[in-house]
Amino acid sequence: MKKRKIMKVVETTAKTIEEAIDIALVELNASREEVEIKVIKRGKSGLLGFGNEQAKVKVEKVSDVPENIQLAYEILRNFLEYLDSPMKITTKIIENGKISDLIISLDGEDAALMIGRRGETLRSLQYIVNLMIQNKVDNKDALISLDVEGYIEKKFNNLSQLVEKMEKTVIRTGKQLAMEPMPAFERRYIHRFFSDSKKINTESEDFGRNRHIILKLKK
Domain map (residue ranges) of the chain: 1-63, 66-149, 157-217
Question: 90, 107 in Cβ contact below 8 A?
Answer: yes
Q: What is the pLDDT along the chain (219 residues), one digit of tens a residue?
A: 444 555 678 899 998 888 899 898 888 888 887 888 888 888 877 665 666 788 898 888 876 677 888 888 889 989 999 989 888 888 877 776 567 677 898 988 888 889 998 888 999 999 999 999 988 877 666 778 899 988 988 888 899 999 999 999 999 999 999 999 988 888 988 998 898 889 999 999 999 889 999 999 988
H or E segment to which residue 123 belongs: helix 120-134
State the pLDDT at residue 70: 83
Does 157-217 match 66-149 at the fold level? no
State the pLDDT at residue 213: 95
- Exposed / middle / buried, residue 166 (Cβ in 10 Å: 0-12, 13-18, 19+): middle
Domain 157-217: top CATH class = alpha beta
State the pLDDT at residue 196: 86
pTM of the predicted model as reported, rounded to 2 decimal places = 0.68
Domain 66-149: top CATH class = alpha beta
Distance (Å, rounded) from C-alpha 101 to C-alpha 94?
Answer: 5
Tally DSSP H helices, then E strands, for the chain: 6, 9
Distance (Å, rounded) from C-alpha 31 to C-alpha 25?
Answer: 6
